[in-house]
Chain A
Amino acid sequence: GAVVSQHPSWVICKSGTSVKIECRSLDFQATTMFWYRQFPKQSLMLMATSNEGSKATYEQGVEKDKFLINHASLTLSTLTVTSAHPEDSSFYICSARDLNSAHNEQFFGPGTRLTVL
């Protein structure tokens, strides 16, 4: 149980284009999903908290107009990197919190490696 998928697993795009990343909880419902970014040899950095049916909450310094988050259902959240630039190249990881869990554990997707040329 507690499986989270992400698609695509890797993507290469040209500078200025937009990229959409999907995060799905496969065997549980998640009212809350989280989006992280991780640069090589650095810690996870929380970008935003995605709440089903409402606006995402962004961490300080994360541009909400550049990183668009949609959480339209209890099993799907999407992150769109708009007008991507080489500095957006990173490992993007989502996680999901089980609605029915009393302990708030997060389960991570396998991540999406984005390379912007």
Chain B
Amino acid sequence: QKEVEQNSGPLSVPEGAIASLNCTYSDRGSQSFFWYRQYSGKSPELIMSIYSNGDKEDGRFTAQLNKASQYVSLLIRDSQPSDSATYLCAVTLNKFYFGSGTKLNVKP
């Protein structure tokens, strides 16, 4: 079983819609959770971090963490074509684990 699981996608949403990206992790002791965005041909960029249960909002992005269900998600409101990228979920305990990423396509 992989430490971090993500649906590879692609997830297609129309412009202006809410994109919902999901991630599950296997180690219940994981403490820090991150979302990275990676455009094609570029390196990953940290866009959200969350450390406690609940929601954390930053602009159009909301990260949600549910430690009981071992589940972390990223919501992107008012999706724009420029949001089209691969989104990587990452989880840390004593080591950093990345998911394989979900490709998001926002259609104009």
Q: Which residues of A contact B (CB under 8 A)?
A: 2, 34, 43-44, 46, 91, 93, 103-111
Give chain A nearest CB distance to B81 CB in angstroms.
20
Is residue B87 within 8 Å, beta carbon to beta carbon, of the partner chain? no
A103-B49, A103-B51, A111-B43 known; A43 vs B96 contact (CB < 8 Å): no
Q: Which residues of B contact A (CB under 8 A)?
A: 31-32, 34, 36, 41-46, 49, 51, 88, 90, 92, 96, 98, 100-101
User: Which one, B45, B88, B92, contacts A104 given CB within 8 A?
Assistant: B92
* Complex Cα gap A104–B90 (Å): 11
With most chain A CB atoms within 10 A of its CB, the pick from B41, B88, B92, B96 is B96
Q: Is the interface of A mostly helix, strand, loop or mixed?
A: loop
A-B Cβ contacts below 8 A, count: 39
Could you tell me if A43 and B43 are in contact, using CB atoms closer than 8 angstroms?
A: no
Give chain A nearest CB distance to B29 CB in angstroms.
13
With most chain B CB atoms within 10 A of its CB, the pick from A34, A91, A104 is A104
Shortest Cβ distance from A97 into B: residue: B96
User: Which one, B31, B43, B49, B90, contacts A109 given CB within 8 A?
Assistant: B43
Could you tell me if B32 and A108 are in contact, using CB atoms closer than 8 angstroms?
A: no
A104-B92, A107-B46 known; A43 vs B100 contact (CB < 8 Å): yes
